[in-house]
Amino acid sequence: MKFYLVLSLAVLPGATELLGQTGTPLTFNRDIAPVVYRSCVSCHRAGGSGPFPLVSYADVRGHLREVVAATAKHHMPPWLPEDGFGDFDDAARRLTPGEIKLFSDWANSGALEGRPEDKPAPPQISTAAEYDGWTLGKPDLVIQAHQPVSVPATGPDLFWNFIFTPAISSTRYVRAVDIRPGGPHMVHHANLVIDRYQVSRKKEKTPGAGFPGMDLDPGGSVFDPPGHFLFWKPGSGPDVEPDGYAWRLEPGNDLILNAHLRPAGMQMMVQPTIALYFTDQKPSHAPILIELDRDDKLDIPPGVRDFVVSDDLRLPVDVDVLAIYPHAHYLGKLLEGYATLPDGKRQWLIRIPDWEFDLQAVFRYKKPVFLPAGTVVSMRYHYDNSALNPHNPNKPPRRVRAGNNGTDEMSHLWLQVLPRGPGDRRREIEEAVMQRRIEKDPRDSAAFLDLGEIRLSRLDTQGAITALDQAVRIAPNDSQAHNILGASLSRVGRSIDAIGQFETALRLDESNVNARYNLVIALIKAGRMAQAAQQMEKVVAAFPKDASLHNLWGELLVRERKVDEAVAQFDEAIRLDPEGNAGKAAQANRAEALAPIPAPK
């Protein structure tokens, strides 16, 4: 629980003796401590996100008025979903009506401490000091944002993206993440995403400083890390993946922490830290995240009390829903997510009758919710832009559209689902999501690009070409669209057309190394070895520690009869990967390049 009122510390006046269920007066040790330990101390503890601790009798008695007031108004502990509209893991932290009354009854009966033997043991908050308080024990890797950001004492909320660079030399699988926000009283919430191509660094004005903004587009797949909510809010514990659900982290990947920061009355620096815990167990389950949204419909006139937006998605395969994440800003009022089954029955996923932006969270189900193929998943969001909405940041109300600022609005509903059936069926769902996006906006070039990439991965090359042709027509200056179109053309044997697309991609963005590598392969297929070798030099310069690239460059140099230069590349590949496949291939290539040329018979 988290309280912000600052009131008198005295016990409520007019105290009268009230009895507990045992016929004896209510006491902290027997009646109150079990509730506080279950629902409060995850935030209200030393070093926690709450403004004061609520661990001891003295702590609770000293803030009794705040506790009674906040629980009576259902402000604390924070919990948004309506009971009966989804069975969630953390619902046990909610207070029952009887427990809410318990606080006021205990206050009115004198707030007695009770017998020491009645008091349960406080929950274990952290591990031994040698692990620096990390709750899962010693991390495998601790990384800190390159630079802190200054949060002013007052003013609007700040959305900041911190960049982390994990120092790993091989593929690792992450089983758990623990986030320290570096200023818990100022960090409202944060999301962690992977940037596999380091494109986010281009948004920094100063290297390592991070960059502002709420929406992220780190390039590559729109579902990355595949199928995982990496979400932090005050009171959150570490994000621990079940067995078989670890996610992949590659050398060179960046992690981006997208943090919502709030001024706290004095200027402070925030510099988050992340602990990673690895496993040797590769993932055996393949969940994905799917999103419903209608930001394009958000144009809310001032004074309107019930502005409704909706979105629907038909599932192409059977799925189990594992978690749900609704998202709106301050005008959100009633948020609903539900599924209409093929037989017409409604399956509720979540219902929030009184949305509060400050209490948003990822809600995980106790048991997966099964939805068969053909189910239509729906979101219905209601917004209140009137002066009667106590959360309205605009006084008087003004026209509000979609945007990244807290004073703008959003309408998103994310689901974490695990497809059923043999094989990896995520791409079928992703294709349905992209087709739905195109239905909503036929000019959505990013959706056509993603659809083309998805179809290419499903070996539907002609379908990919059709989608990617449309993407480059809508956005002719999109380097990646030309690159993926080139890959599709190359796959069907249209090498000359593919080379043209790769060259266009590089003309638009010469740092697109993926397009340059694809150009190398296309030039080799076309027999243009000299040009391929020239381009390969630039690819290797971008990834100097990749042994396979050095080996390929050496092979091209051999074909150009530049044996000494080729041997140098083979030697570098062997040095980088002496026992691996690339190193062994380079050893064979080196021996062949230096072998004497047989004399003619």
Task: Name 281's Cβ contacts closer than 8 Å, sequence gap at least 6.
Answer: 173, 175, 243, 244, 246
- Determine whether 228 is exposed, middle or buried from the number of CB atoms within 10 Å of its CB (0-12, 13-18, 19+): buried
Give the tens place of pLDDT for each residue, 24-47. 788 988 988 888 888 777 777 776
Helix axis angle for 495-508 and 513-525, nearest 10°, is: 160
Find out if CATH 2.60.120.230 is the number for domain 288-440: yes
| Residue pair 259/187 in contact by the 8 Å Cβ criterion | yes
Bridge partners for 142 per DSSP: 275
- Determine whether 130 is exposed, middle or buried from the number of CB atoms within 10 Å of its CB (0-12, 13-18, 19+): exposed
| Residue pair 432/181 in contact by the 8 Å Cβ criterion | no
Torsion of CA 109, 113, 116, 119, to 10 degrees: 80
Outline which parts of the chain fall under CATH 1.25.40.10: 445-594
Task: Name 387's Cβ contacts closer than 8 Å, sequence gap at least 6.
Answer: 303, 395, 396, 397
CATH of 445-594, one of 1.25.40.10, 2.20.25.90, 3.90.1150.10, 2.40.160.20: 1.25.40.10
DSSP helix/strand/coil, 255: strand
Find out if CATH 3.40.50 is the number for domain 136-279: no
Pairwise CA distance, residues 561 & 363, whole Å: 62
Bridge partners for 291 per DSSP: 414
**Residue 8 half-sphere exposure, CB side, CA atoms within 13 Å?**
4
pLDDT at 599: 57
pLDDT at 89: 82
Q: Please give the radius of gyration of the chain, using alpha carbons only, rounded to the nearest integer.
A: 29
pLDDT at 8: 31
Pairwise CA distance, residues 361 & 233, whole Å: 7
| Residue pair 50/13 in contact by the 8 Å Cβ criterion | no
Residues 367-395 as b or e (16 or more Cβ within 10 Å = b): ebbebebebebbbbbbbbbbeebeebbee
Longest dimension (CA), the chain: 116
Beta-strand runs (E) in 106-253: 141-144, 149-151, 158-164, 172-180, 187-195, 211-212, 231-232, 239-240, 247-249
pLDDT at 29: 84
| Residue pair 218/196 in contact by the 8 Å Cβ criterion | yes
DSSP helix/strand/coil, 289: strand
Six token digits for residue 493: 């044997």
Give the tens place of pLDDT for each residue, 313-371. 999 999 999 999 999 999 999 999 999 999 999 999 999 999 988 788 889 999 999 99
Of all residues in the chain, what percent are helix, strand and coil, respectively (each to 5)? Answer: 35, 20, 45
- Determine whether 96 is exposed, middle or buried from the number of CB atoms within 10 Å of its CB (0-12, 13-18, 19+): exposed
Bridge partners for 415 per DSSP: 290, 324
Bridge partners for 352 per DSSP: 335
Task: Name 130's Cβ contacts closer than 8 Å, sequence gap at least 6.
Answer: 138
Task: Name 562's Cβ contacts closer than 8 Å, sequence gap at least 6.
Answer: none
Mean pLDDT, the chain, whole residue set: 86
| Residue pair 527/521 in contact by the 8 Å Cβ criterion | no
With a cut of 50, which residues of the chain have pLDDT below it? 1-19, 127-130, 221-223
Pairwise CA distance, residues 329 & 77, whole Å: 20
Q: Which residue has the tokens 């807290």?
A: 406
* Cα→Cα distances 208→148, 191, 197, 212, Å: 9, 19, 16, 13
